[in-house]
Structure 1
Amino acid sequence: MVDAVARLTRLGLPVTPAAADPALLELRGIVARAVDPADPASRTAALDGTLRGLLARFPDARYATAARALFGLPPAEPGQNLTARRELAAKQAGHEVHHFRKRVEPKLVEKLAWELLADADRFTRLPMIAPRLAPTTSRQPVQADPFAWEVAEHEEHLCRLWSAIYAARAELLTVERLVSLDADRVDVVHAAVTAAWRWAAARAEAIGYTTAFGTDLEAVPNADLVALAGWAPTLTQAQASRLTEAAAGGASREQFVHALHDETGLGNTWIDGFLTPPAAAEPTDSIEQENGPTT
């Protein structure tokens, strides 16, 4: 796996079918994201998108920019060869090029490989993949039959569930982006409240779906369904239930806020969760610690 990721540095991103190792294309996280899992080109596109996302969230902040440059993402420029990208990455990391190539680059590649494996493991442990959609050119009426009605209703609720999960993810990402930009607190708080509304609505949809249908999701806890949207501040069961009650029934954002008008403590818990810096990584997880301050 590490060797397969290392080979991607030769040409950098975007990943091409010729550069994509079969071992990477067969990862469950890649297959699940592919529009057509049977098509190698589709899986290659999914691999490219997944790598970009992992590099955008590279876990070692000290070397995140260097890792992105090494694989051809900004601050690297399109078309730069490996030598130019390596020199830029070394500069971003604060190391001499030879030291970077021998000591740091292998660690960056290894960490990205582990992130790919962790991503695949998340898909393996949770049997939840959003239903794929295909374009249709003609109307598909529902037949006047109890079984057809039941199937259509199930798909309706499933679509609402995934719609709510993706809407929550979009708002959670918005908050994290604003925090990263050091945006005005008022803007961050506004976005955090919107995220709370969408997160609670997703939780309400998850509870409603699993209660009504169960089926293949009956063994998946509602908390895991909502966790698909992304990280959210830690709440007690009572706090999560209170948010869910306020968002249930298709409540608007204004109705959600009004219902929680007196819940100051709950609001502070949610908002402070985003405004509190994440815990620093352990020293053993840091590439800088492993390689020392050599320049």
Structure 2
Amino acid sequence: MSRKSPADAQLVAAVRRLLRYGLPVTPASADAVLLDLRGVVARAVDPTDTASLTTALDGTLRGLLARFPDVRYASAARALFGLSPAEPGQNLTVRRDLAAEQAGHEAHHFRKRVEPKLIEKIAWELLTDADRFTRSPMIAPRLAPVGHRQLVQADPFAWEVAEHEEHLARLWSAIYAARAELLAVERLISLRADRMEILRTAVTAAWRWATARAEAISYTTAFVPEAGVSADEVVALAGWTPALTAAQASRLVEAATGGASREQFVAALHGEPGLGNAWTEGFFSPPASPEITPDEQNGQLP
């Protein structure tokens, strides 16, 4: 890992202190430097409330540990912070012993040589997550409970505001629906589920993604000054998808436009198996290895 700035060093220290308590994160165990991360603030229901920020930090860490990039040490990292295979309430000594066992190291060696690198890696992942939110072109609007009817006044300005909110709601509904199906595909692949089940889910993901892209095109076309981003940048928020040519992506959108159901979407593409294969087979291709900097390569976990 490359040399860290002072801010990065503070983050590493905060993650190290958090390790004493493990997960779930509590207001007492979370330093301000962690709660102030852009990815945490963006996920908080109320970014001005410490409890809400704490919940967002807990969820962020669980997600990062679930997708820990070093496969060999993923189970050890989770155990170290109190997630399965560890059990709730275990103290740090017990968690360290279990993590060392999961990593295949002697306990003393694990604590002195491996644990510091795992902490640095988690801090680095938190910084990377925050950077993604910093560079994100759009962030989903937060919703709050409403106890009364929201009438729209008979006024052109009020109509414009309501229409904008309508577009936003449809857009984010489609983005999250696509994300759910893309995650479902990856989960089934990880579970080594039946290939036909994976393919069916991948087709559903294609339909949801195409619907989301159609909504993104509609939104960015109608609200270009407000959006300031392209449809591709918006739909990318749903998650990774197999590589498609511009023509293939347009064809998928065409099949999904107009509120097409999944059945209508599949029927529209029935005579184009090549397009379907380009999408579905992309999920079965080996994932690219994450880039490792020379500093990280020299300092890889032992």
Q: TM-score, normalised by structure 2?
A: 0.93
| Residue aligning to 2:86 | 76
Map 1:148-227 → 2, pairs under 5 A: 148-218=158-228, 220-227=229-236
Does residue 98 (structure 1) correspond to residue 108 (structure 2)? The answer is yes
Q: Specify the SS of the correspondent of 1:16.
A: coil
1:251 aligns to 2:260 (yes or no): yes
Identify the residue that residue 34 of structure 1 maps to in structure 2. 44
Aligned with 2:61: secondary structure?
Answer: helix
Q: Tell me how far apart the structure 2 counterparts of residues 226 and 283 of structure 1 sit (CA, whole Å).
A: 27
1:240 alignment counterpart: 249
CA distance in 1, matches of 2:48, 2:231: 31
Deviation at 1:118, TM superposition (A): 0.6
Give percent identity, aligned residues only. Answer: 74
Contact kept in structure 1, 2:137 and 2:233, CA below 8 Å: no
> Aligned runs of 1:93-172 on 2, under 5 Å?
93-172=103-182
TM-score by length of 1: 0.95
Question: Does the 8 A contact of 1:62 with 1:288 survive in 2?
Answer: no
Structure 1 contact 166–229 (Cα < 8 Å) conserved: yes
What is the rounded CA distance, in whole Å, between the counterparts of 2:166 and 2:218 in structure 1?
12
The Cα of 1:280 is off from its aligned counterpart by 3.7
Residues 1:99 and 1:284: Cα distance change in structure 2 (over 3 Å): farther
Check whether the contact 1:192–1:271 (CA below 8 A) recurs between aligned residues. Answer: yes
The 1:287–1:59 alpha-carbon spacing in structure 2 relative to 1, beyond 3 Å, is farther
Q: Which runs of 5+ in 1 are unaligned?
A: none
Task: Give the Å deviation of 1:284.
Answer: 6.5
RMSD of aligned Cα (Å): 1.6
Whether contact under 8 Å (1:13, 1:72) holds in the other structure is yes
Distance 2:258 2:199 in 1: 24
- Partner Cα separation in structure 2 for residue 39 and residue 19 of structure 1: 16
Cα distance, 1:221 vs structure 2: 2.0
TM-superposed CA distance for 1:291, in Å, is 4.2
Per-residue deviation, 1:237: 0.8
Write the distance in 2 (CA, Å) between the matches of 1:122 and 1:111.
16
Q: Residues of 1 paired with 2:297 and 2:92: CA distance?
A: 21
Q: Which residue of 1 aligns with 2:97?
A: 87
Do 2:211 and 2:256's aligned partners in 1 also have CA atoms closer than 8 Å?
A: yes
Equivalent AA in structure 1 for residue 155 of structure 2: D
The SS at the match of 1:62 is: helix
| 2:239 maps to amino acid | G
Structure-2 residue corresponding to 1:262: 271
Change (3 A) 1:147 1:280: closer
2:63 is matched with which residue: 46, 53, 78?
53
Pick which of 244-253 and 276-285 moved more. Answer: 276-285
The Cα offsets for residues 203-250 of structure 1, whole Å up to 9 and x where unpaired, read as: 0000000101123312x2211111111111111111111111111111
Of 54, 59, 62, the residue aligned with 1:44 is 54
How far did 1:277 drift? Answer: 2.2
Contact 1:283 1:289 in 2 (8 A): no
What is the alpha-carbon distance in structure 2 between the residues aligned to residue 287 and residue 94 of structure 1? Answer: 21
What amino acid does structure 1 have at the position aligned with 2:110? F
